[in-house]
Amino acid sequence: MTAWFGAAEPAEDAGVPADVPAYEDAAELPPVPILRLRDVRKTYISGQLEVEALRGVSLAVGAGEYAAIMGPSGSGKSTLMHILGCLDVVTSGTYELAGTDVSGMTETDLAQVRNRQIGFVFQQFNLLPSLPAWRNVELPLAYAGVSPAERRDRAMSSLERVGLADRVEHRPGELSGGQQQRVAVARALVTDPSLILADEPTGNLDSRSSEDVLGLFEELHAAGRTIVLITHEAEVAARARRTLHIRDGQLDLALSGAGAW
Ligand SMILES: Nc1ncnc2c1ncn2[C@@H]1O[C@H](COP(=O)(O)OP(=O)(O)OP(=O)(O)O)[C@@H](O)[C@H]1O
Ligand SMILES: [Mg+2]
């Protein structure tokens, strides 16, 4: 926040496009943002090569929103998700998560923010193959210092919630892809995070399993969680309440509309 207000006035208010609608009725007001990016840039340097993966992204996602981010391969979606998830930091610009500017935080502080506030679901499930489902699910609680008994209870109820009460002792290799992704969703939920970030969560699933996982996201959204889901499938994005389009590291404001406020 300080960086934003301390900086020279931007040429245009990067956060508010000119065509943002007027809200006459308080009920139509956009919700309080849980995520707010202002003019975020991310440059990767590998060897001699610099890649500008994000080139000035400004967006806000309100608490309790269900938003999809779409865009072609290489457009910067995963880079954006890594920043939103505090897995990586911005090169310039600011990122506020639940009102706190996390752009300048240390790795230790970021790890704590991730653990307390964010649940992740990835395309590749990222489960540990040697551990049974419930042990995979309890892992974030172990990092948070929760007692073993409580960890087990919470892992079990999280697995029950995703419909896997009868698979808690199975290892990832003994589960179908869809079941593995549900374990990953259970793991994302176990810390009771306010924000769930999913990067191509249905990318490796058949249509039936995709449907299961998308159904879970809908339940979570109905229960008040904020969900940001990255996909390049239009049918998946259509399940979210709004879609932001990214292209060459920038939001396509024409396609994303006032959604990018
Ligand atoms: N760690 C990295 N080091 C260097 N360049 C990177 C790194 N990660 C991503 N990039 C580059 O940044 C750009 C954006 O990558 P990103 O992974 O965000 O794309 P994406 O939209 O998620 O694509 P996909 O749909 O294929 O997953 C690409 O040009 C990519 O090569
Ligand atoms: Mg990606």
Looking at residue 252, what is its pLDDT?
Answer: 85
Q: Which amino acid is at 248?
A: D
3-class secondary-structure state, position 114: helix
d(CA 14, CA 11): 8
Looking at residue 24, what is its pLDDT?
Answer: 56
d(CA 187, CA 230): 18
Look up tokens 């697995």; give the residue: 159
Could you give the strand order of the β-sheet that contains 100-101, starting from the edge strand earlier in sequence? 49-62, 33-46, 92-97, 100-101
Ligand 1 atom closest to the CA of 45, numbered from 1 = 4
**Substitution site in 41, 46, 51, 81 for ligand 1 pocket (most atoms within 8 Å of beta carbon):** 51
User: Whose atoms come closest to the Cα of 232: which ligand?
Assistant: 1
Element (H, E) at 243: strand 242-247
**Substitution site in 40, 55, 75 for ligand 1 pocket (most atoms within 8 Å of beta carbon):** 75
pLDDT in tens, 192-236: 899 999 999 999 888 988 998 899 999 999 999 999 999 988 999
Domains of the chain from N-terminus onward: 33-97+105-260 (3.40.50.300)
Q: Is 71 in the pocket of ligand 1 (CB under 6 A)?
A: yes
Chain centre to alpha carbon of residue 59: 14
pLDDT band for 15, please (50, 70, 90 cuts). Answer: very low
Residue 26, judged by CB atoms within 10 A of its CB (0-12, 13-18, 19+), counts as exposed
Looking at residue 26, what is its pLDDT?
Answer: 53
Residue 112, judged by CB atoms within 10 A of its CB (0-12, 13-18, 19+), counts as middle
Q: Is 165 in the pocket of ligand 1 (CB under 6 A)?
A: no
Mean pLDDT of 69-92: 94
Q: Which amino acid is at 127?
A: L
Chain centre to alpha carbon of residue 247: 18
Centroid of ligand 2 to alpha carbon of 105 (angstroms): 24
Q: Residue 115 corresponds to which tokens in the numbers above?
A: 């653990």
Question: Percent of the chain scored above 90 by pLDDT?
Answer: 71
Q: Which is higher by pLDDT, 136 or 255? A: 136
pLDDT in tens, 225-235: 999 999 988 99
Sign for the pseudo-dihedral over CA of 130, 205, 75, 58: negative
pLDDT band for 76, please (50, 70, 90 cuts). Answer: very high
